[in-house]
Structure 1
Amino acid sequence: MKILYSAPNRAHHYIYAKGLFQRGGLYKFISGFSRLSKRSPITEPGFPMIKADLLQSLYVLSLRLPVGYRFQRQLAYWAKLEQDVVLSRYVPGSDLILFYNGCGLRSLQRARKLGVVSVVEVVNSHIAYQEELLQEEYKRLRLTWQGSPKREVKRRIAEYDLADYILVPSEFVRQSFLEKGFPESKLLKVPYGFSLPEVRPVKRGSDSVIEVLYVGSISVRKGLRYLIQALSLLQDLPIRLKLVGPQAKVSGIADLQLPDNVQFTGVLKGEALEQAYRGADVFCLPTLEDGFGLVLGEALSYGLPVITTTNSGGMDLLTDGEEGFIVPIQSAEAIAEKLRILATDTALRDTMSRKAFEQASALDGWAESLSRLTAVLKACLQLKSQDE
């Protein structure tokens, strides 16, 4: 098995690349992750990494300079094309190409001509699903919608259509492709693994105030307005909300009258973030669209009952009514209902806390995720050999 793997950033991609290399299946890894980052190198001896990050590095620099937004978007687009060009050079020596959506159309076309198996990796729902959902939300909030450039949307969809398979991280993402008419046989689901801290179950304090924690960006996409609106429906209960994360230019909550029991902390890391988890009673991720909410695993590891939406990847991590609740998107009423249950039923909250901790201990690590990835890629190659 000679896998040609390409990715524009670090995230889980370095883990996948190193794991495939250690299992003897990696042919080349084309990395678009900027060399300006201290985390850029992979020190594994003999690791076959090829850098395709010149334009990505220029894009990273542009974010620190007073240049226009349009120019930054253009650089970001060119960076993806650069990665595609470099990737295409190595297609002839591979059995299978695995590439990040938006960065491989040229390589994909070459792979099809050469009979090389192609897998496009997506980290979020179908791009058309995302665009439709977020455009509707911006319109509802009377905000200016920019969306993804049309040429990028077109390119991503072309890759979906031309690839032999689509690698998805969650049931939510898989369903978004099924809704767009893709056959189940084309979709490969491999959830991400977790490297969770070793946390002992937290004994919650006797404070009568229930603290709800959110960790993530303060943005329209994350659906925070619905969590804040839910609090306004619970004024008879002692609840406070702690929001941890950076604020986007368009937050989606600027028009709301924020109650006194909402606290913004900004970005927290290390011990400060750990203390935020330890001090909470409930975790809420009210997102409109997240391919796989890794913060949900972190929250479970601290024994926090979770309230999240159907569009978070939560269905792959917890069972509704056991370790928490899964609610519809854009529903302050549904969030308020579940918060009221957890705030007023101490026994249930304690039970869910225990189950959350147990569930976190049972979540797959990266070794299991890599084993699953390797198995599905081998199966793709075996199917091809049977067809020949």
Structure 2
Amino acid sequence: MKVIVSHPQGNRNVRAIISAFDKRQQLAEFDTTIAVDEQSVWLQLLPATLRTELLRRTFPLNPGMITSHPLREIGRMVFPRIGLKSITRHEEGWACVDQVYRDLDRRVAGRLADLVKKQNINAVYAYEDGAMKTFSAAKKLGLACIYDLPIAYWETGRKLMMEEAERLPKWAVTLGGGVKDSAEKLDRKVKEMELADIIIAPGSFVSDSIPAWAKDKEVVISPFGSPLLQGENKNQTSSPQGKLRVLFVGSMGQRKGLGDLIEAIRLLDTNMVELVVMGSLLAPLEFYKEELPGLIYEPGRSHDGVLELMRSCDVFCLPSIVEGRALVMQEAMSQQVPLIITKNTGGSDLIIEGKTGFLVPIQSPESIADKIQWFVDNREAIPEMGRKAQKHAATYTWENYSTRVVESINNYLEKI
């Protein structure tokens, strides 16, 4: 069996998949936008922020197995830095995220017939928003189509996001593309799902969102892996005299429930809790400061820096409304930080209630406030909960994630 995998950026989960196929000598090719050699001298000539971003585009493969299509992605990275933001406007800009995905999709589809002639290819593996053309071409060639759905299917996501725009209109500006997607983009998502033979989901929230008409397709649920423990363990005591530090990491919008978390802090009305937020701003910083004057905003930093920040906090809270499976939850657990999350984060299996953290309902600042107050009242329990969280997170490995996905695909293809 041979498979072609495509993804514009190559996130951690993508790396795990291509590595697993490669180890089994089943990877025909990996198509992406940018792939760099971390030893390249020219990287040292770039500004530090751009260099750091490009260094994320290294892959654990022989360079001959990678085909790059970099032009639009370079535009997406560079043009906003020089003030040309219109070029990356949602769906419309030449170098917007949607056009980056679609361009890669078209290019992979255009090469498939020639690749099949050269190699014994059985399947293509593509991700939401970047699969329609590839899958259409694959069907004509008799190839299986593997569809990785990293976040809840659009119908579920859109319904919940529209509810949020009505429930918290002040936060609607932070909902982003989820409520602005065009009919054409949504139609592409439907066609991708229709063409898929196998659907890969990172958790039950995503798999449950698959529409009824697609439920008879092969669905593989495999949770992401956790990072290995890095740096030092947290201090083993949580001082009852200091403020309880509640951490939120992620894009700073209501899709991730930040409005509910801020309202929960306001409901507590205590100087014993401080909210620390790190992530991309979806509104001016003043907007968040008006909502919660005491909010502590932390700018982005290296991955090691993020883990260090996590170790300085007592509790991690992510009350997401729509998610796939937020890796940041397992990162926090790996640093001995217990959780307060919703099931819509995709991480309900991470919670052993009262042991590794707590589950709360979506759209419920009162429930969030109640659990934060529990931590305030039970500071002595936090170190042990942190250790249990770390131990539980360690049971989720990238090896297990990729092995389950790849073996399920192999088993499916053997049956057809």
TM-score normalised by length of structure 1 = 0.89
Deviations 1:117-151 (A, max 9, x none): 11111211101222222222123333457522321
SS in 2 for 1:109: helix
Deviation of 1:316 after TM superposition, in Å, equals 3.3
1:219 to 2:220 alignment:
no
In the alignment, which of 60, 70, 82 is matched to residue 77 of structure 2? 60
In the alignment, which of 112, 118, 122 is matched to residue 90 of structure 1? 112
Evaluate the alpha carbon distance shift between residue 229 and residue 87 of structure 1 in structure 2; reply closer, same or farther with a 3 A threshold: same
CA-atom RMSD in angstroms: 2.6
Deviation of 1:243 after TM superposition, in Å, equals 1.2
Deviation of 1:255 after TM superposition, in Å, equals 8.9
In the alignment, which of 178, 200, 203 is matched to residue 170 of structure 1? 203
347-356 or 120-129, larger mean C-alpha shift: 347-356
Structure 2 counterparts to residues 306-317 of structure 1, below 5 A = 306-317=339-350
Deviation of 1:46 after TM superposition, in Å, equals 5.6
139-148 or 216-225, larger mean C-alpha shift: 139-148
Q: 2:76 is aligned with what amino acid?
A: Y
CA distance in 2 between partners of 1:157 and 1:343 (Å)? 46
| Gaps in structure 1 of 5+ consecutive residues | none
C-alpha contact 1:247 1:266 (8 A) present in aligned 2: no
Q: 1:23 is aligned with what amino acid?
A: R
- The match for 1:100 is 127
Evaluate the alpha carbon distance shift between residue 240 and residue 100 of structure 1 in structure 2; reply closer, same or farther with a 3 A threshold: same
- The match for 2:225 is 193
Deviation of 1:382 after TM superposition, in Å, equals 1.2
- The match for 1:81 is 102
Evaluate the alpha carbon distance shift between residue 150 and residue 273 of structure 1 in structure 2; reply closer, same or farther with a 3 A threshold: same
CA distance in 2 between partners of 1:255 and 1:40 (Å)? 35
C-alpha contact 1:213 1:242 (8 A) present in aligned 2: yes
Deviation of 1:263 after TM superposition, in Å, equals 1.4
CA distance in 2 between partners of 1:71 and 1:218 (Å)? 20
Deviation of 1:294 after TM superposition, in Å, equals 0.8
1:210 to 2:231 alignment:
no
In the alignment, which of 150, 160, 167 is matched to residue 123 of structure 1? 150
C-alpha contact 2:239 2:379 (8 A) present in aligned 1: no
Structure 2 counterparts to residues 18-37 of structure 1, below 5 A = 18-33=19-34, 37=54
Structure 2 counterparts to residues 243-322 of structure 1, below 5 A = 243-249=277-283, 254=288, 257-260=291-294, 262-269=295-302, 272-322=305-355
1:359 to 2:392 alignment:
yes
C-alpha contact 1:219 1:252 (8 A) present in aligned 2: no
C-alpha contact 1:7 1:100 (8 A) present in aligned 2: yes
TM-score normalised by length of structure 2 = 0.83
Q: Which runs of 4+ in 1 moved over 6 A?
A: none
Deviations 1:289-325 (A, max 9, x none): 2211111111111221100111112113233333111
71-80 or 95-104, larger mean C-alpha shift: 71-80
1:132 to 2:159 alignment:
yes
- The match for 1:2 is 2
CA distance in 2 between partners of 1:173 and 1:141 (Å)? 24
Evaluate the alpha carbon distance shift between residue 226 and residue 252 of structure 1 in structure 2; reply closer, same or farther with a 3 A threshold: farther
Deviation of 1:196 after TM superposition, in Å, equals 2.5
SS in 2 for 1:64: helix
CA distance in 1 between partners of 2:363 and 2:286 (Å)? 12
SS in 2 for 1:115: coil
Evaluate the alpha carbon distance shift between residue 272 and residue 43 of structure 1 in structure 2; reply closer, same or farther with a 3 A threshold: closer
C-alpha contact 2:20 2:406 (8 A) present in aligned 1: no
SS in 2 for 1:161: helix
SS in 1 for 2:298: strand
Deviations 1:132-176 (A, max 9, x none): 222221233334575223211110111011211211111111111
| Gaps in structure 2 of 5+ consecutive residues | 37-49
Deviation of 1:257 after TM superposition, in Å, equals 3.7
C-alpha contact 1:202 1:303 (8 A) present in aligned 2: no
CA distance in 2 between partners of 1:38 and 1:351 (Å)? 36
C-alpha contact 2:35 2:58 (8 A) present in aligned 1: no
C-alpha contact 1:218 1:251 (8 A) present in aligned 2: no
Deviation of 1:68 after TM superposition, in Å, equals 5.1
Evaluate the alpha carbon distance shift between residue 289 and residue 256 of structure 1 in structure 2; reply closer, same or farther with a 3 A threshold: farther
Q: 2:226 is aligned with what amino acid?
A: F
SS in 2 for 1:191: coil
CA distance in 2 between partners of 1:383 and 1:256 (Å)? 58
CA distance in 2 between partners of 1:201 and 1:65 (Å)? 41
Pick the structure with more helix per residue. Answer: 2
What fraction of aligned residue pairs are identical, expressed as a percent?
25
